[in-house]
């Protein structure tokens, strides 16, 4: 080192020059390396990076589709879409986490969100990363005008950055609770369902925030009802701001939009007017009414009481309503018509009668003496009439609902024959109605008892005695009962219950028409594949070749005989006729259990039933002496007219007491309403012969 | 010294041409890169270019050696300006980089680069060592100014989150092992101070032992033989520190521990108890640091009556000259510019010459520090940050976002680019800082690979011209000056382009002449003018 610096040494030092030249060469090398890297980026990876760049600024803006509309058989709207005002947030514009949390908390107080909803919103907002943070998230749907005003006034003060009021679509059920169980409701798809969909490749293209059918037709026909979202390609800048249209055209060309396709319209077989009358007529706390066209299995009424309002449980606002429903001891969620399983009581006697006739265990000529009780082995069963019915034949036994007669029949034919007949009439297995949550009921046979009552020695002969009058382990659903009586009334064809008449596109071109189908005897032999057949919007419907214009079709005024190969029950027509006349007598014969409740308008055939819920002691208790949940279920199943019936009705009035007094009037009211409505329809058709009133 | 006026024909036209072309292309590019948010920005830059050209032309009429005389004052002024920025700068993007002078604002860190080059050129040109600089010459470990530098470095270590908190770690470690309890924040604070004092004492003791063992070596130090003055100086320095600490205790009722506030701010625990609310803590800290530096400088001047060269050698090592502005810039914080100070200074020192052994030692020390730091000190999040530097696509949504966006912009330019004003990455603001740090990615997107080659070729011409000027310079000052300017332009260009194309971490370094920024443009043009001047006066007259 040159200590102190030699000030006289000002000559260019020879070593510095070469080092500077080294610097020159290093410069060349360095820039060459940069050029190589640039070549790799711009020329080799150019196309790849350019497409990445395009993904930056092209955003697919979703144009939500309209969910398909659900109509009843006459074209009344049961489920529809209506505009709603939603509030959404864009995480990127909410700012960093503390600001975002503060904004959300502020928003929550403005629109009255629950703490739970706020927590979920916070999670939803903090989850996305990168460009996903530019996608808006709907925080609260269906704001009231007051809430909108509160949010907007805050926004006008430049608070609530990243919060926007947008218009959305919301499912609406104009008839309210009328067909709640039948229609079900929609709810936002949750993360688990979405994951499940994605595992299957997400063919329906669900995204978080989409609605999905949760129950009833909304769920079973989700495929048809769901449309296809449209897309609009837009150009956004780094802050997600939409650019001018001219600039978008310059970058993306003219074709920027894919229109959304609405979901298919689903026409139900339900008659909304009749359903309304049925619910009005139903006076009890809980129960179900099912009405079906015996000639084709089309469901006319499917009501379950108590009901809920699907408008109130959809979306986030429904949380409190949902809680209330969850806590109700009467279980309003339960669709009693298909998911409620009950002992059929005396309504099952028609089945026992058919079984006895089929087994030749009795005939119209045989009379059985009813002393008021029946003894088998060391056990004694009582008739509902303590004094006994005296000598009764099979027809009279149905009319007066003599227990002893059917105890006798049951003990004669045995449980195997009885269970066989019950199964042939559709009990003990699902009817495969296109609704979720259907229960199969239970037809006990020897094997069942050996299994279930193993502790008490398996099957005992006395068990068939209980089963013969519809008690014991036997369980049926109201729908099964209605279908079975429809089969008895129509001469022996057991139809599959049909809830959807046809599916049409949103502009009313028929996509699929559901034809009546008879049910086979066997289990699972005709496993329905409706799910797969179900037409999806977005598939080119024309390619299916089954399109037809229905606009000009006159409406079906009266159900016509369906052109299907009728699968007869393996039951002698004479036996059927005998039972049918017996059932007719229930309402026509002054001794009949429902004679005093008969219809003044139309001849009816039916059967009362009073199903014990709790095995009481020998003493019969008055209704007042029992608690609600111990009281008997009242049943009434009927069809009308008594010959060549056009409607079959099953009414269950839970814990209300006697079938003749508590259920029969409801069924009669439904049938009367049906008659009135048919007459009105006929009149309307004659008044307007050409048009097709929708 | 008076040189005859050289002919204008002697001007290095390739240099002038490359410089003006790059600046013009930069302004053309600015027209596009700022189009979406400040469409008239390029007019201001054009004005700066005009003014700068005139100033540069005028400068050619003076001999560059005049700058040698003012190198130290200019350097001192630059450092004061950097200090001023820290004390009352205008902050942008969370960093204080701007100084307001009347209606104009400028970034003192830009001219400070040139001032540092002048200063280093003067300093080193007077201390050419044909065998190269040794460790000793470079760092002057025996110099009593080292403890102060160490203190400064430690204080900065606290403040910089990306450097971790080694002292805090150490303090926690000791405390845990000694007492087994987790200390309270306040205890930890004073324990840290104690630890710093301990480290300083150890370092000093080591120095004194070395000196005591090897008197002959001590004689090599520019300090005059004899330890009296050195002792006095050390005592004064420690006394000042102690006095400051005691003052902070005594004045507690009135100002509640200003020294503590300063340190507490450093360790970012001041807000915990709210005890220090109401202060402007960073200002206090910086004031304390500034006072310490000034006191130390004044004491040095006062206690020594030796020739100026000796004084400079006593107080300052070559690395200090680049470390002081670099640290001041680092605190702003501006990691990129601080790095430029370091690499430019190191390049100049390399041109002056460094012993091979010293280079090897430095390499080894650096490598071992890196290994120890990686496995011993750095926390996971800090490692992740470094990994993101190395591979931006590793964390595409987070920290690597800027780098990835820039790579997308560059790559989508392909051969010929999308055309002026047509780049989507730039016009839709996907590029960060697109008219300053990322100006080149706008250029790459809109002008393509060919456009980039043109600009890079111009840089090669410019830098090569300055290097050759350095090689032909008439004296070592001129050579070092030109080498400094060349390395400044070279390093900034390399780091900026490297960052834009995703091979270097994203740090705030502008592309000289090309990026928007008046201070930067003027500084580089002045540097070029100095190099031109060296060229004009390359022959001894």
pLDDT digits (tens, 9 = 90+) for A372-381: 889 888 888 8
How confident is the model at residue B288, as a pLDDT?
55
- Judge whether residue B54 has pLDDT over 90: yes
CA distances from A654 to A222, A636, B269 (A): 32, 12, 70
Task: Select from A513, A518, A479, A514 the least CA-distant residue to A495.
Answer: A518
pLDDT: is B53 or B295 the higher one? B53
How confident is the model at residue A237, as a pLDDT?
73
- Contacts of residue B3, defined as CB under 8 A and 6 or more positions apart, other chains included, come to B63, B537, B541
Task: Select from A2, A673, A50, A265 the least CA-distant residue to B124.
Answer: A2
Q: Which residue of B has its CA nearest to A39?
A: B449
Task: Select from A660, A605, A600 the least CA-distant residue to A636.
Answer: A660
Cβ-based neighbour number of residue B32 at 10 Å: 25
Asked if B470 reaches chain A (Cβ–Cβ under 8 Å), the answer is yes
Chain B residues inside the 8 Å CB shell of A16: 128, 351-352, 470-471, 473, 476, 479-480, 483
How confident is the model at residue A22, as a pLDDT?
87
Asked if B421 reaches chain A (Cβ–Cβ under 8 Å), the answer is no
Q: What digits encode the pLDDT tens for the residues B435-449? A: 788 889 889 988 989
Average pLDDT over residues A637-662: 88
Q: Do A2 and B351 touch (CB under 8 A)?
A: no
Chain B residues inside the 8 Å CB shell of A17: 470-473, 479
Q: Do B137 and A9 touch (CB under 8 A)?
A: no
Average pLDDT over residues B110-128: 89
How confident is the model at residue A52, as a pLDDT?
81
Pick A27's closest partner by Cβ from B476, B477, B490: B490
How confident is the model at residue A191, as a pLDDT?
78
Chain B residues inside the 8 Å CB shell of A34: 456, 494, 497-498, 501, 503
Q: What digits encode the pLDDT tens for the residues A406-455? A: 999 999 999 999 999 999 888 988 888 888 888 999 999 888 888 888 88
Confidence label for B306 from pLDDT (cuts 50, 70 and 90) = very low
Q: What digits encode the pLDDT tens for the residues B469-505? A: 998 888 889 999 999 999 999 999 999 998 888 887 7
Average pLDDT over residues A4-29: 69
pLDDT: is A629 or A318 the higher one? A629
Asked if B352 reaches chain A (Cβ–Cβ under 8 Å), the answer is yes
How confident is the model at residue A7, as a pLDDT?
39
Task: Give the HSE-up count for residue B79: Cα atoms under 13 Å, Cβ half-sphere.
Answer: 19
Q: Do A236 and B428 touch (CB under 8 A)?
A: yes
Q: Which residue of B has its CA nearest to A130?
A: B397
Pairs of CB atoms within 8 A across A/B: 188
Task: Select from B389, B417, B422 the least CA-distant residue to B495.
Answer: B389
Residue-wise burial string across B314-330, b where 16 or more C-beta atoms lie within 10 A, e elsewhere:
bbbbbbbbbbbbbbbbb
For chain A, give the percent of residues with pLDDT over 70.
86
- Judge whether residue B382 has pLDDT over 80: no
Asked if the bond preceding A419 is cis, omega within 30° of 0, the reply is no
- Judge whether residue B418 has pLDDT over 50: yes
Which of B125, B428, B454, B486 would best serve as a mutation to test chain A binding (most A beta carbons within 10 A)? B428
Q: What digits encode the pLDDT tens for the residues A41-69? A: 888 888 888 888 777 777 777 777 888 99
Q: What digits encode the pLDDT tens for the residues A543-574? A: 333 333 333 333 333 333 344 434 567 788 88
Chain A residues inside the 8 Å CB shell of B351: 16, 19-20, 23
pLDDT: is B89 or A397 the higher one? A397
Asked if B456 reaches chain A (Cβ–Cβ under 8 Å), the answer is yes
Q: Is A191 exposed, middle or buried (0-12, 13-18, 19+ CB in 10 A)?
A: exposed
Q: Do B429 and A239 touch (CB under 8 A)?
A: yes
Spatial separation of the C-alpha atoms in residues A490 and A294, rounded to whole Å: 6
| Residue whose structure tokens are 């949750």 | A190
Chain B residues inside the 8 Å CB shell of A3: 222
Pick B127's closest partner by Cβ from A5, A20, A52: A5
Q: Do A20 and B479 touch (CB under 8 A)?
A: yes
- Judge whether residue A248 has pLDDT over 90: no
Pick A46's closest partner by Cβ from B411, B472, B487: B411
Cβ-based neighbour number of residue A359 at 10 Å: 16
> Two tokens at A60?
């697919």
Q: Which residue of A has its CA nearest to B306?
A: A4
Q: Closest approach of chain A CAs to the CA of B387, in angstroms? A: 19
Q: Do B128 and A239 touch (CB under 8 A)?
A: no
Asked if B446 reaches chain A (Cβ–Cβ under 8 Å), the answer is no
Average pLDDT over residues B524-529: 94
Domain ranges within chain B, ordered by starting residue? 8-67+382-536, 141-313
Element (H, E) at A504: strand A500-504
Per-window interface: B 35-94 vs A, CB < 8 A = 36
Confidence label for B352 from pLDDT (cuts 50, 70 and 90) = confident
Q: What digits encode the pLDDT tens for the residues B194-208? A: 666 666 666 665 555
Spatial separation of the C-alpha atoms in residues A503 and A484, rounded to whole Å: 27
Chain B residues inside the 8 Å CB shell of A236: 428
Q: What digits encode the pLDDT tens for the residues B137-188? A: 777 655 555 656 656 555 555 544 444 444 555 555 555 554 444 444 444 5
Across all residues in chain A, what is the average pLDDT? Answer: 80
How confident is the model at residue A207, as a pLDDT?
77
> Two tokens at B50?
């005009």
Chain A residues inside the 8 Å CB shell of B494: 30-31, 34
Asked if B251 reaches chain A (Cβ–Cβ under 8 Å), the answer is no
How confident is the model at residue A555, as a pLDDT?
35
Q: What digits encode the pLDDT tens for the residues B193-242? A: 666 666 666 666 555 555 454 443 444 444 444 444 555 565 666 566 55
How confident is the model at residue B523, as a pLDDT?
93
Confidence label for B190 from pLDDT (cuts 50, 70 and 90) = low
- Contacts of residue B479, defined as CB under 8 A and 6 or more positions apart, other chains included, come to A12, A13, A16, A17, A20, B125, B351, B470, B471, B473, B534
Chain A residues inside the 8 Å CB shell of B430: 53, 56-57, 237-238
Spatial separation of the C-alpha atoms in residues A655 and A467, rounded to whole Å: 20
Q: Do B410 and A13 touch (CB under 8 A)?
A: no
């Amino acid at each position: 080192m040159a200590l102190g610096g030699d000030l006289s040494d000002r000559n260019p030092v020879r070593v510095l020059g070469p080092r500077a030249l080294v610097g020159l060469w290093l410069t060349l090398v360095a820039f060459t390396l940069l050029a190589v890297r640039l070549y790799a980026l711009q020329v080799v990876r150019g196309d790849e990076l350019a497409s990445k760049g395009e993904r930056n600024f092209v955003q697919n803006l979703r144009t939500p589709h309209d969910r398909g509309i659900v109509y009843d058989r006459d074209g009344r709207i049961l489920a529809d879409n209506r505009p709603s005002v939603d509030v959404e947030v864009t995480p990127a514009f909410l700012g960093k986490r503390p600001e975002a949390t503060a904004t959300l908390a502020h928003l929550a107080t403005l629109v009255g969100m629950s703490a739970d909803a706020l927590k979920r919103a916070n999670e939803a907002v903090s989850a996305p990363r990168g460009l996903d943070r530019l996608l808006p998230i709907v925080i609260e749907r269906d704001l009231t005008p007051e809430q909108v005003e509160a949010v907007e006034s805050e926004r006008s003060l430049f608070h609530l950055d990243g919060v926007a009021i947008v218009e959305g679509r919301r499912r609406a059920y104009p008839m309210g609770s009328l067909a709640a169980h039948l229609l079900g409701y929609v709810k936002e798809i949750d993360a688990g369902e979405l994951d499940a969909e994605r595992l299957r490749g997400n063919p329906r293209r669900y995204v978080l925030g989409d609605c999905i059918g949760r129950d009833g037709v909304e769920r079973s026909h989700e495929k048809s009802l769901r449309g296809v979202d449209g897309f609009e390609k837009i150009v956004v800048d780094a802050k997600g701001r939409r650019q001018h249209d001219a600039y978008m055209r310059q970058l993306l060309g003219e074709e920027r939009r894919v229109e959304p396709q609405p979901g298919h319209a689903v026409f139900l077989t339900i008659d909304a007017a009749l359903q309304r009358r049925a619910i009005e007529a139903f006076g009890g706390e809980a129960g179900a009414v099912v009405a079906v066209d015996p000639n084709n299995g089309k469901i006319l009424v499917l009501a379950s009481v108590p009901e809920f309002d699907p408008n109130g449980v959809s979306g986030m606002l429904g949380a409190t309503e949902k809680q209330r429903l969850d806590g109700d001891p009467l279980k309003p969620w339960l669709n009693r018509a298909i998911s409620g399983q009950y002992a059929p009581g005396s309504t099952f006697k028609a089945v026992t009668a058919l079984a006895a006739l089929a087994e030749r265990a009795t005939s119209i000529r045989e009379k059985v003496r009813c002393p008021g009780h029946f003894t088998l082995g060391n056990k004694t069963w009582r008739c509902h009439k303590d004094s006994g019915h005296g000598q009764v034949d099979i027809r009279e036994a149905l009319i007066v609902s003599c227990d002893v007669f059917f105890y006798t029949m049951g003990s004669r034919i045995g449980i195997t024959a009885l269970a066989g007949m019950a199964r042939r009439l559709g009990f003990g297995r699902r009817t495969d109605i296109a609704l979720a949550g259907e229960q199969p009921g239970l037809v006990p046979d020897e094997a069942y008892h050996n299994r279930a009552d193993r502790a008490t020695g398996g099957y005992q002969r006395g068990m068939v005695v209980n089963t013969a009058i519809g008690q014991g382990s036997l369980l049926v659903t109201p729908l099964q009962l209605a279908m079975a009586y429809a089969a008895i009334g129509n001469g022996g064809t057991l139809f599959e219950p049909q809830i959807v008449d046809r599916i049409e596109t949103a502009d009313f071109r028929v996509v699929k028409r559901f034809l009546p189908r008879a049910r086979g005897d066997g289990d699972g032999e005709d496993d329905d594949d409706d799910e797969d057949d179900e037409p999806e919007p977005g598939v080119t419907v024309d390619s299916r070749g089954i399109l037809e214009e229905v606009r000009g079709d006159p409406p079906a005024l009266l159900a016509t005989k369906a052109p299907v190969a009728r699968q007869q029950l393996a039951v002698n027509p004479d036996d059927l006729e005998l039972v049918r006349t017996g059932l007719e007598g229930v309402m026509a014969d002054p001794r009949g259990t429902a004679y005093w409740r008969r219809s003044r308008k139309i001849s009816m055939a039916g059967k009362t039933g009073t199903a014990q819920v709790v095995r009481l002691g020998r003493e019969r208790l008055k209704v007042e002496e029992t608690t609600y949940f111990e009281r008997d279920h009242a049943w009434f199943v009927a069809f009308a007219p008594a010959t060549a019936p056009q409607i079959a009705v099953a009414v269950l009035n839970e814990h209300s007491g006697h079938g003749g007094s508590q259920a029969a009037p409801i069924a009669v009211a439904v049938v009367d309403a049906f008659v009135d409505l048919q007459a009105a329809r006929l009149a309307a058709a004659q008044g307007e012969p050409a048009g097709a009133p929708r | 010294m008076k040189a005859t006026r050289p002919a204008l024909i002697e001007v290095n036209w390739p240099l002038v041409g490359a410089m003006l072309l790059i600046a013009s292309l930069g302004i053309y590019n600015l027209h596009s890169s700022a189009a979406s948010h400040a469409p008239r920005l390029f007019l201001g830059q054009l004005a700066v270019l005009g003014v700068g050209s005139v100033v540069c032309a005028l400068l050619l009429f003076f001999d560059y050696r005049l700058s040698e005389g003012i190198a130290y004052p200019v350097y001192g002024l630059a450092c004061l300006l950097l200090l001023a920025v820290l004390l009352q700068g205008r902050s942008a993007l969370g960093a204080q980089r701007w100084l307001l002078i009347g209606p104009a604002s400028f970034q003192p860190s830009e001219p400070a680069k040139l001032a540092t080059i002048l200063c280093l050129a003067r300093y080193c040109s007077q201390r050419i060592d044909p065998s190269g600089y040794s460790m000793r010459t470079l760092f002057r470990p025996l110099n009593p100014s080292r403890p102060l530098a160490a203190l400064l470095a430690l204080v900065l270590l606290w403040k910089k989150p990306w450097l971790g908190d080694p002292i805090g770690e150490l303090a926690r470690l000791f405390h845990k092992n000694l007492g087994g309890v987790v200390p309270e924040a306040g205890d930890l604070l004073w324990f840290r101070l104690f630890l710093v004092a301990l480290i300083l004492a150890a370092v000093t003791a080591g120095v004194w032992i070395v000196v005591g063992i090897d008197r002959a070596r001590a004689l090599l130090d520019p300090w005059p033989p004899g330890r009296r003055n050195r002792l006095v100086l050390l005592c004064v320095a420690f006394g000042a520190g102690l006095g400051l600490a005691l003052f902070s205790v005594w004045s507690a009722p009135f100002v509640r521990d200003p020294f503590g506030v300063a340190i507490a701010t450093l360790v970012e625990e001041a807000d915990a108890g709210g005890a220090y609310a109401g202060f402007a803590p960073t200002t206090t800290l910086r004031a304390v640091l500034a006072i310490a530096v000034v006191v130390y400088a004044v004491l040095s001047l006062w206690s020594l009556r030796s020739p100026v060269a000796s004084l400079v050698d006593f107080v300052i090592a070559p690395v200090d000259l680049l470390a002081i502005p670099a640290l001041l810039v680092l605190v702003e914080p501006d990691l990129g510019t601080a790095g430029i100070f370091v690499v430019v200074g190191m390049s100049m020192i390399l041109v002056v010459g460094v012993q091979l052994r010293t280079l090897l030692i430095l390499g080894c020390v650096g490598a071992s520090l890196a290994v120890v730091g990686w496995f011993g000190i750095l926390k996971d999040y800090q490692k992740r940050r470094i990994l993101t530097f190395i591979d931006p696509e590793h964390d595409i949504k987070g920290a690597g976002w800027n780098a990835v966006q820039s790579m997308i912009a560059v790559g989508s330019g392909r051969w010929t680019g999308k055309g002026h004003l047509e780049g989507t990455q730039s016009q839709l603001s996907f590029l960060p800082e697109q008219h300053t740090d990322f100006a080149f990615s706008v250029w790459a997107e809109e002008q393509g690979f060919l456009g980039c080659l043109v600009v890079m070729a111009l840089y090669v011409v410019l830098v090569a011209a300055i290097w050759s000027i350095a090689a032909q310079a008439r004296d070592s000052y001129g050579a070092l000056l030109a080498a400094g300017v060349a390395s400044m332009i070279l390093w900034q260009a390399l780091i900026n382009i490297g960052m834009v194309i995703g091979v270097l971490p994203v740090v705030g370094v502008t592309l000289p002449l090309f990026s928007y920024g008046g201070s930067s443009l003027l500084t580089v043009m002045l540097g070029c003018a100095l190099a031109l001047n060296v060229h004009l006066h390359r022959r001894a007259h």
